[in-house]
Structure 1
């Protein structure tokens, strides 16, 4: 059984027991969250499609994880202009506990 859920504008294909990194969600480690925006559920061949078909519950494993550093570098040749900025995207690690 698997489901497609929408979290922070992104779609994720999830199964029970699966761990995945999603954009930062509010909550602490060990909290249980309910993902209500379920777009697709496959229950052993029985398919349900639509917005809010079911619900998926998950547990927050790690609250705040930073991704790889992304650097935006701008330069204009022969002008002496150089600008360097960077950021690290924040993620939350969750584990899917049940699909209903």
Structure 2
């Protein structure tokens, strides 16, 4: 099976979207909340790429959303988080509260 244009665009955007997610995400948010935000962004990525590539049908939409979710997760955990870029963006755009570098008291 060869990937469609919509799937390739979904993956390409998914590679860059962790940076946009880091702008919105706050260091004090739990992993579950950040994961939910990632799924919302992946859904938007998949819907948008399927629509703008003329492949807006059931199977194509689901495939694009799944490709986007995998691409976002892999890019974040292999490139953006280890390099410190995504956590740095989160700290820089934080609206206050506990920073990611401060340990929380019990």
Question: Could you state the TM-score of these two structures normalised by the residue count of structure 2?
Answer: 0.30
Q: Kindly name which structure, 1 or 2, has the bigger radius of gyration based on alpha carbons.
A: 1
- Higher helix content, 1 or 2: 2
- Higher strand content, 1 or 2: 1
